Amino acid sequence: HGLAGRRFAMSVLPIARLAVASPRVGALPARFAAARLAPAVARPRQRASSLKCVNVAPAPGASPRPAQPSHPKQRRGRFTVPSAGKGGFNALPDGTDDLIKKYGDTARATGQFIGKASGLANEKKGFKLKRGGGGSRGYNEGNGVFLLLLLNVVLFVLDNWMHLPFMKLLYLNHMHPQWWQFVTSIFCHANWGHLSGNIFFLYVFGNIVEQEEGTFGVWFSYLFTGIGAGLASYLMLPKGVGGVLGMGAAATVSLGASGAVFGLFAISVLTKLRLDFKKLLECVILGQFVIERFVSEAKMATIAGGVGAGGVNHVAHLAGALVGVFLIVGLSKILPPEK
């Protein structure tokens, strides 16, 4: 039983001799007393502190147990993977660790460079949104313009296809204006041709503005320039049409997103105006189209006196573009320069 058993037996023998000589067991033969104590010697009380592990040689003919790996193991998920110690992975040939360190760093640096160049790198989260978006800057794939287009189309369906009577109250009535009509009128349209042209330019130039200024920026630009165009129309156009001496005249109404769209024309060009070759090229391409449209509207307004053939409100178009210019110039004075 090992060293502990022999020590215990040696400590019990004096007790056995004493038990044989004692009066209580003196009548018993020494052989019987020794037999009573033998089981205690055969099954000693083992203490954990006195036990020692010893290597036991395998029996003759038995297959030896495989040697356990000397390197520590780490549990990763459901698998046990040997970790690389100072000497690296034992299963790899010599020199592999140096190659991994050398080209692994190169691959990591290349990935970081590609991430930064593509605009997907971020120090904390591994990515970042492009400029413009969520709050003020962070492009989120045109959600702001999509909502503007959806609202214009929904109101057109309610007004021109379902003919809901309350929709007429959303037009800007120049004779009896309501404050909310300056907002609601820029989402209403008279017919499909009117809507089709406006939502096309809203989609093109609204996306350009949203890429530069974000969802809040395109919504604010649309509302600010549209309300400004409606206010200019209310101040400059006659309050009613027809009638005799002001009696029986029909009220002039304004509706449509064209004033806000012209505002987006101007804003899309001015937001590209910076010391960057790519931005300057985009500014020139957009600018020549916007300037051509503005000059054409100015000529038509001069000839027709504000409202052209088919009820086209040239005053609203010009006013929307000018309000867009004033908006960008004013913000450039108030806001800090972009880094």
Q: Which of 189, 194, 314, 317 is catalytic?
A: 317
- Distance separating alpha carbons of residues 338 and 207, to the nearest angstrom: 21
DSSP class per residue in 231-267: HHHHHHS-SEES-BTTBSPEEPEE--SHHHHHHHHHH
Residue type (1 letter), 113: F
Question: What is the SS3 assignment for 325?
Answer: helix
- Dihedral sign from CA coordinates of 295, 297, 298, 302: positive
Question: What is the SS3 assignment for 159?
Answer: helix
- Distance separating alpha carbons of residues 238 and 254, to the nearest angstrom: 11
Our answer to whether residue 317 is catalytic in this structure is yes
The H or E element containing residue 320 is helix 314-334
Our answer to whether residue 136 is catalytic in this structure is no
Q: Which of 221, 233, 254, 258 is catalytic?
A: 258
CB neighbourhood size of 297 (10 A): 22
Q: Which of 278, 259, 280 is nearest to 269 (CA)?
A: 280
Asked whether the beta carbons of 239 and 182 are under 8 A apart, the reply is: no
Q: Is 263 exposed, middle or buried (0-12, 13-18, 19+ CB in 10 A)?
A: buried
Catalytic residues: 258, 317
